[in-house]
């Protein structure tokens, strides 16, 4: 039991007669998460606080410079793969600091009362920092469980053909996944990555930015999308 802030990359598969099992000793008492806790919030204005994150935390995949985008994706191209959570409540990203301060209800939300929890991000390139503003609606974020997602996946082999794996009884949450297009690498918080004979059972899988479970597709250099960072957003025709 406990919280494991890490990315699990299985490098060995089992056999048809001898599977490899990853199992929580106490079902749903072990959590594997792609998020990190943030306790460095400073008051900014009204209900909005600000935190500065050194970009070294993210490695080669910065969810706060990477947009949700890909083949066959027809949604807005101005939302990042990053996210902010307070006590497992996921905040709504805004396109400006002004919108974050105003914190208007999002009319299309399924949970409209919670849509006033907003966040906004920008880069301080001089200090190599990601700056995150969040509207906590009167709460002190340093006294709450506030997290940001950091890792792209939580439980997925980098290589194909890691067969005969069982994943059982975990809570798996909060990954900075991007769109899973049909013709290129399909990103997911957990998945076999084009392996066979996997069993994912009795798990609580939640709070992925896009896909929770992905069954494929393998990485194809011809079709593999690039990270969309520091770019002018394209017009989709």
Question: 102: helix, coil or strand?
Answer: helix
Residue 195 neighbours by CB under 8 Å, 6+ apart: 13, 157, 160, 161, 162, 163, 165
pLDDT digits (tens, 9 = 90+) for 188-225: 999 999 999 999 999 999 999 999 999 877 776 665 65
- Which of the four pLDDT bands, split at 50, 70 and 90, describes residue 235? very low
Q: What is the structure's pLDDT at 219?
A: 72
* Neighbouring C-beta atoms of residue 7, cutoff 10 Å: 18
- pLDDT, tens digit (0-9, with 9 covering 90-100), for 126-177: 999 999 999 999 999 999 999 999 999 999 999 999 999 999 999 999 999 9
Q: pTM for the full model?
A: 0.89
Report residue 99: phi and psi, to 5°.
-65, -35
**pLDDT tens digit sequence for 66-114:** 999 888 888 878 999 999 999 999 999 999 999 999 999 999 999 999 9
């Amino acid at each position: 039991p406990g919280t494991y802030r890490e990315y699990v990359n299985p490098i060995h598969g089992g056999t048809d007669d001898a599977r490899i099992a990853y199992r929580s000793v106490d079902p749903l008492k072990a959590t594997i998460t792609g998020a990190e806790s943030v306790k460095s919030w400073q008051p900014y204005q009204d209900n909005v606080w600000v935190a500065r994150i050194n970009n070294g935390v993210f490695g080669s995949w910065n969810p706060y410079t990477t947009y949700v985008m890909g083949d066959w994706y027809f949604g807005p191209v101005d939302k990042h793969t990053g996210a902010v959570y307070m006590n497992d409540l996921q905040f709504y990203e805004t396109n400006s600091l002004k919108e974050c301060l105003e914190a208007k209800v999002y009319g299309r939300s399924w949970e409209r009362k919670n849509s006033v929890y907003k966040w906004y991000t920008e880069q301080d390139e001089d200090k190599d920092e990601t700056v995150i503003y969040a509207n906590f609606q009167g709460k002190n974020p340093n006294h709450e469980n506030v997290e940001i997602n950091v890792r792209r996946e939580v439980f997925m082999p980098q290589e194909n053909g890691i067969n005969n794996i069982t994943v059982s009884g975990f809570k798996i949450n909060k990954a900075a996944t991007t769109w899973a297009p049909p013709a290129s690498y399909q990103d997911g918080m957990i998945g076999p990555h084009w392996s066979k004979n996997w069993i994912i059972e009795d798990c609580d899988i939640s709070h992925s930015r896009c896909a929770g479970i992905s069954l494929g597709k393998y990485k194809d250099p011809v079709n593999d999308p690039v990270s969309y960072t520091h770019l002018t957003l394209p017009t989709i025709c």
